Structure formats: C-alpha cells, structure tokens
C-alpha cells in the first residue's frame, strides 16, 4: 500500500512540488535565519574566542558583556595574581580610539593593549609582520579587514579601489603617531570596527589620560584547578567578577538576548517562516488529500482498513518532510559555504539541525493530521457519486 501511497503523492508533479516547496521554504527559513542569528551572536564574543590562552577573564563586577568596559586600577592585576591557583595573570586593555586616516577622516577602532612582556592576547594568525614587532616604538598590528577597508588608503582616482594599509605605514591614533608593524587575521567582531593591537604601555599613550586603564585581567589557572572554583575564589578574595571563557561568552550572548531586539527580530522571521511554511505545506497537502479523496474512498470501499489509510497518509507526510527538509537544509548548507569568510555572519551548528527537524515534524504532522481526519471520516459511498 505504501507503493500506492507514494505513486498517489508523486502522480501530480505540480502539486507534489508545491508541497515540497512549502516545506523546503520553511526548513530553509528555520535554519538560515537562526544561522544568521547564531553567526551574529558568535561575532559578539569573537574577541573572547580569539584569545585562546587564558582560562579565566577577570573584570569589574558590573560588566555585562565583552564591550561593556569598566576600567579598573592597575593594582588589581597583582591582587588577582596572588590568588591561590592562579598560574599567571596579565593585563588587557580594550577600548575604542579615533584613528585619523590619510584623507583626513576619522575612523573609530577597537584598541587592544597587550601585556608588554608576554603579548598574551595577541592575534593567533599573522598575515604580515611579526607579533614581537609590537614592542617597536609606536608599533601597532591591524586586523586584515580593517587594513583592507576602513583603515585603507584612499583610492588613486575617484571611485577607484581603496589601497590597503600596509606594514610600515603610519596612522594617527588620538593625535599620536602609530606605525603599522603587522597585519593579523582575526574573527570579525559584532561592530565590524577595525581592531588595532598594541602593547599595554603604548595603549596608555594612545588613549586620553584617565585614572584607570585596566579592562580585564587574563588568568591562566594552575594545572588541575577547577576553573569554576577558581572563579569563585578570585571573587571572594578580590571582589572582582571572574568568568571562564565559556561563561563570559554566555554572559555576552545573554546580554544581547536580553537587552537588544536582535533575538526578537530573528524570532519573528523564524516564526513567520514556520507559519508560512506550515500554511503552504498544510494547505497543499490538504488540497492533495481532498483531490485524492475519491481514491481514498475507492480504497476504503474495496476494503482498506482505516489503519492502513492512516499509515499511507503518514508515509506520504514523511516523504514530503524528508525531501522538503533535505532541500531546505541543503540550501542553508550552500548559504553557509557561500558566506564563509565574508562580511555576512552565519553559523550552522548541529543544534539547528535538531531545531529544524522538530519544526518540520510539527508542520508535516499538522498537514497529515488534518488530512487523516478528512480521510478517516470519509463515507466510502462517495465512490458512487459520478
């Protein structure tokens, strides 16, 4: 009977494609939009991800996310370093600064000040130059995206391509001369501002005078330490909030979830995709059943049990779900491939597969349910109507 169910389903190719299209669309929206959302959220904490070495981030207790900088006195570094279980503690400056470009315009940049001695927190991948060159006078490393675009030199002729910022060139940071000593590859940030790395001591020179400069204390735990317990210990001893990398990422994401409209906007898109997909697939599948009602009636009259008819419809729903889901997720996969290493934020974690399978399951169950009801309550005597 499943063969008959299958042939009934694919018999009218137009209708069949209509159902598949509805489910593919729903599946695409339910994976692509959350994928963009996850991508954006990932960028929100990309700076934490890029700093692979430290286990724990220590900060002023009221910090809510990675870009919420509450400067602390430099002496806090030593208080943290003295906590039992801490292998080392290094300072990190994170802030914004105005860069004056060659054409006289200004560009806001993220300025990262690294521990002078160890340069912990430096970018992992250098495109050009060496990290050690940061120790040169006024040395800075610029991220690749910034060097190619926002910090790039003006074009040679109107509407021509920008000329990338190169090693050896100078720019002005808050009226201070800065020399580019390297170009680094970093993960794009949420604001997509250029990222400028320098030493902690240079950062104090570049930034306007201020009482406190220390943004974070980066901590490496001694081997065998329970990181959560160490975080608690740091808090108890110093009064500073300490987070593991993952917890700090969660804190950042939760801030965006709670205080920005981003999740709601994407949630609405996903919900609309789900509803439109459900409407299209449900309506088309129901129409398909209505148009085949006479044939279900024939089967019923000939002695097909209600259970078999029910299984036939579930089988049909499973087929459309499987194909629709496959096409939708496949399209999202292609989108993922096409957007890799571009400005578009997109991530496709395995959880999205589960989420969209669940969504498609609900849609096809809904479509099957309304059809099953129609077929089960069908009077087989319908077959004698001409």
Partner 1 sequence: MTQEEFAVTCKELIKSYGHGETKITALRGVNLEVRSGEMMMLAGPSGCGKTTLISVIASILNQDNGECKVYGHDLNHMSKTERIAFRSKNIGFVFQAFNLFPSLTAAENVAIPLVIGGMDIKEATQKGCELLNEMGLGDRVSDVPADLSGGQQQRVAIARAMIHGPRLIVCDEPTSALDGHTGQKIMELIKKVALDETRAIIVVTHDSRIFSFADRIAKMEDGQILKVVNSYEEFED
Q: First vs last Cα of the chain: how many Å apart?
A: 25
Using CB under 8 A, count the residues that bind partner 1: 25
Taking the mean position of all CA atoms in its chain, how far away is CA 308? 45
Binding of partner 1 by 3 (CB under 8 A): yes
Q: Which of 82, 212, 305, 351 binds partner 1 (CB under 8 A)?
A: 305
Residues 319-348 that bind partner 1 (CB under 8 A): none
Q: Would you say 316 and 9 are in contact if contact means Cβ atoms under 8 Å apart? A: yes
Nearer to partner 1, 298 or 331 (CB): 298
Binding of partner 1 by 293 (CB under 8 A): no
Binding of partner 1 by 11 (CB under 8 A): yes
- Residue 121, classed as helix, strand or coil, is coil
How many angstroms separate the CA atoms of 362 and 243, rounded? 38
String marking each residue 361-380 x if it binds partner 1 according to CB under 8 A: ------------------xx
Binding of partner 1 by 7 (CB under 8 A): yes
How many angstroms separate the CA atoms of 374 and 355, rounded? 29
Q: Would you say 141 and 129 are in contact if contact means Cβ atoms under 8 Å apart? A: yes
Residues 273-292 that bind partner 1 (CB under 8 A): none
Which range touches partner 1 (CB under 8 A), out of 101-109, 205-213, 225-233, 298-306? 298-306
Binding of partner 1 by 294 (CB under 8 A): yes
Taking the mean position of all CA atoms in its chain, how far away is CA 16? 34
Which range touches partner 1 (CB under 8 A), out of 43-51, 187-195, 244-252, 294-302? 294-302
Binding of partner 1 by 311 (CB under 8 A): no
H or E element in which residue 26 lies:
helix 13-44
Binding of partner 1 by 264 (CB under 8 A): no
Q: How far is CA 26 from CA 21, 47, 272, 324, 329, in A?
A: 9, 33, 9, 8, 10
Question: Rg of the Cα trace of the chain?
Answer: 29
- Shortest reach from residue 282's CB to partner 1, in Å: 22
**What is the secondary structure of 333-361 as a DSSP string?**
HHHHHHHTTSSS-----HHHHHHHHHHHH
Q: Which of 295, 353, 355, 361 binds partner 1 (CB under 8 A)?
A: 295
- Shortest reach from residue 1's CB to partner 1, in Å: 6
Binding of partner 1 by 17 (CB under 8 A): no
Residues at the interface with partner 1 (CB under 8 A): 1, 3-4, 7-8, 10-12, 294-295, 298-305, 308, 379-381, 383-384, 386
């Amino acid at each position: 009977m499943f063969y008959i169910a299958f042939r009934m389903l694919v018999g009218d190719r137009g209708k069949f494609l209509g159902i598949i299209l509805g489910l593919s669309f729903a599946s695409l929206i339910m994976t692509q939009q959350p994928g963009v959302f996850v991508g954006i959220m990932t960028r929100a904490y990309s700076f934490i991800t890029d700093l692979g070495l430290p286990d724990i981030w220590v900060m002023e207790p009221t910090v809510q996310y990675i870009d919420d900088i509450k400067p602390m006195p430099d002496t806090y570094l030593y208080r943290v370093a003295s906590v039992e279980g801490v292998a080392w503690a290094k300072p990190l400056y994170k802030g914004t600064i105005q860069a004056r470009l060659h054409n006289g315009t200004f560009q806001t940049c993220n300025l990262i000040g690294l521990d002078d001695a160890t340069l912990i927190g430096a970018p992992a991948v250098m495109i050009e130059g060496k990290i050690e060159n940061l120790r040169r006078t006024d040395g800075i490393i610029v991220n690749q995206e910034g060097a190619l675009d926002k910090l790039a030199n003006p074009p040679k002729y109107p509407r021509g391509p920008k000329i990338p910022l190169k090693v050896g060139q100078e720019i002005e940071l808050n009226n201070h001369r800065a020399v580019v000593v390297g170009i680094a590859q970093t993960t794009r940030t949420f604001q997509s501002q250029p990222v400028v790395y320098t030493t902690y001591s240079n950062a104090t020179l570049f930034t306007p005078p201020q009482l406190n400069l220390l943004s974070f204390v980066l901590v490496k735990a001694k081997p065998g330490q329970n990181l959560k317990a160490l975080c608690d210990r740091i808090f108890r001893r110093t009064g500073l909030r300490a987070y593991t990398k993952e917890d700090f990422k969660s804190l950042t994401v939760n801030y965006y979830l709670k205080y920005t409209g981003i999740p709601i906007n994407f949630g609405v898109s996903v919900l609309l995709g789900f509803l439109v997909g459900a409407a299209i697939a449900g309506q088309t599948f129901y129409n398909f059943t209505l148009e085949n009602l006479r044939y279900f009636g024939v089967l019923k009259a000939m002695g097909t049990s209600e259970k078999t008819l029910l299984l036939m419809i579930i089988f049909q729903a499973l087929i459309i779900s499987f194909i629709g889901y496959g096409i939708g997720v496949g399209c999202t996969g292609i989108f993922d491939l096409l957007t890799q290493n571009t400005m578009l934020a997109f991530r496709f974690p395995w959880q999205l597969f589960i989420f969209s399978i669940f969504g498609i399951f609900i849609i096809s169950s809904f479509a099957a349910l309304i059809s099953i009801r129609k077929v089960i309550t069908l009077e087989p005597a319908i077959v004698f109507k001409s």
